[in-house]
A and B are shown apart, each in its own frame.
Chain A
Amino acid sequence: MNGRGISRKEFLKAGGGALAGASVVGLAGCGGGQSSGGSSGGGGGKAGKTLTYWASNQAPTLQDDRRILSKAISDFRKKTGIKVKLQVIGWPDLFNRITTAISSGQGPDVLNIGNTWSPTFQQTGAFLPFDQGALGAIGGKDKFIETAYHTSGMHEPYPSVPLYGLAYGLFYNKAMFEQAGIKSPPRTWDEFVAVARKLTKPPKQWGFALEGASITENAHWAFILGQQQGGSLFKGNKPTFDSPGVVRGVAQYVGFIDKDRIVAPQDAQYGTGTQSPTDFAKGKAAMLIWQNNIMTNLKSYGMKESQYGTSYMPIPKPLPPGGKPIMSHTAGINISIFKNTQNRKGALQFVRFMTDRKTQVYLNQQFGSLPVNKEAASDPAFHTENLRVFQDVYANHSAPMPLVPDEGQMETLVGGAVKTLFGKAATGRVGTSDVKSQLAAASQKMAAGGGA
Chain B
Amino acid sequence: MSERKSEPGARPAVGRRRRWLRPQMFPYLLLVPAVVFELLIHIVPMVFGVVISFLKLTALYIRNWSQAPFVGFENFRIGLNTHGAIGSALVHSFLITLAYTVLVVAGSWGFGVAAALLVNSEFRGRGWFRTLFLIPYTLPIYVAVIAWEFMLQQNTGSINTLLVDDLHILKNPPFWLIGGKAFWSLVMTALWRSWPFAFLLVLAALQNIPQDLYEAAAVDGASRWRQFRSITLPQIRPVSTVVVLVLFLWTFNDFNTPYILFGQSPPSAADLLSLHIYVNSFVDLNFGLGAAMSTLLLIFLFIVSVVYVRLLRVGSEENA
Contact = CB atoms under 8 A, between A and B. Distances in A.
A105 B65 CA distance: 11
Contact of A31 (B47, B255, B279, B298): B255
A26 B78 contact: no
Contacts of B58: 450-452
Contacts of A420: 267-268
A105 B63 contact: yes
Contact of B59 (A25, A405, A419, A424): A405
Nearest to A203: B155
A28 B265 contact: no
A25 B42 CA distance: 11
B188 interface: no
A19 B55 CA distance: 14
A204 to B, nearest CB: 11
A445 B90 CA distance: 11
Contacts of B182: 423
Interface stretch (A173-181, A395-403, A409-417): A409-417
Contacts of B215: none
Contacts of A92: 263
A22 B44 CA distance: 10
A124 B59 contact: yes
A400 B52 CA distance: 34
A9 B65 CA distance: 11
Interface stretch (B14-22, B113-121, B130-138, B286-294): B286-294
Contact of B45 (A12, A26, A124, A445): A26
B264 A412 contact: yes
Contact of A24 (B44, B275, B294): B294
A32 B275 CA distance: 9
A434 to B, nearest CB: 12
A449 B78 contact: yes
Name the residue in A126, A419, A442 with the highest tally of chain B Cβ atoms < 10 Å from its Cβ.
Answer: A419
A123 interface: yes
Contacts of B279: 412
A136 interface: no
Contacts of B63: 17, 102-103, 105, 124-126
A269 B46 contact: no
B161 interface: no
B284 A409 contact: yes
Contacts of B52: 20, 23-24
B295 A27 contact: yes
A16 B275 CA distance: 23
Interface stretch (B172-180, B190-198, B240-248, B312-320): B172-180
A71 B307 CA distance: 63
Interface in A407-449: 408-409, 412-413, 415-416, 419-420, 422-424, 426-427, 441-442, 444-445, 448-449
Interface stretch (B81-89, B205-213, B224-232): B81-89
A27 B287 contact: no
A266 B64 contact: no
Nearest to A120: B59
A416 B46 CA distance: 30
Interface string A99-116: 100110100000000000
B46 A99 contact: no
A126 B46 CA distance: 26
A20 B287 CA distance: 8
Contact of A422 (B59, B62, B178): B178
A229 to B, nearest CB: 24
A244 interface: no
A28 B48 contact: no
A139 interface: no
A423 B60 contact: no
The size bracket of the interface on B is: 35 or more
Interface in A6-52: 9, 12-13, 16-17, 19-33
Name the residue in B47, B59, B84, B175 with the highest tally of chain A Cβ atoms < 10 Å from its Cβ.
Answer: B59
Nearest to B250: A29
B178 A448 contact: no
B153 interface: yes
Given A13-B64, A102-B62, A422-B178, A24 B281 contact: yes
A406 B58 CA distance: 10
A271 interface: yes
Contact of A28 (B66, B81, B179, B297): B297
Nearest to B58: A452
Given A9-B66, A269-B177, A427-B178, A23 B277 contact: no
A366 interface: no
Contacts of B174: 427
Interface string B266-284: 0110000111011111111
A269 B175 contact: yes
B84 A415 contact: no
A150 B42 CA distance: 45
Contacts of B295: 27
B265 A444 contact: no
Contacts of A96: 282
Contact of A444 (B84, B178, B267): B84
Interface in A141-165: none
Contacts of B81: 448
A448 B180 CA distance: 27
Name the residue in B56, B85, B178 with the highest tally of chain A Cβ atoms < 10 Å from its Cβ.
Answer: B178
B96 interface: no
B57 interface: yes
A144 B259 CA distance: 39
Contacts of A448: 78, 81, 84-86
A393 interface: no
Given A19-B48, A125-B63, A412-B264, A99 B282 contact: yes
A348 interface: no
A213 B267 CA distance: 10
B178 A12 contact: no
Contacts of A121: 59
A27 B49 contact: yes
A422 B265 CA distance: 13
Name the residue in B182, B256, B286 with the highest tally of chain A Cβ atoms < 10 Å from its Cβ.
Answer: B286
Cβ-closest 4 pairs across A and B: A29-B253, A27-B294, A30-B255, A23-B49
Given A13-B66, A215-B264, A450-B78, 17 more contacts: A17-B62, A19-B48, A22-B45, A23-B45, A23-B46, A23-B47, A28-B277, A29-B253, A30-B253, A103-B62, A121-B59, A405-B59, A409-B286, A419-B178, A427-B178, A449-B78, A450-B56
19 contacts: A9-B66, A22-B45, A23-B51, A25-B278, A32-B278, A103-B65, A121-B59, A268-B175, A269-B175, A269-B178, A405-B60, A413-B284, A427-B174, A427-B180, A444-B85, A448-B85, A450-B58, A451-B58, A451-B285
Interface of B: 42, 44-52, 56-60, 62-66, 78, 81, 84-86, 89, 153-155, 174-175, 177-180, 182, 253, 255-256, 259, 263-265, 267-268, 273-275, 277-287, 289-291, 293-295, 297-298
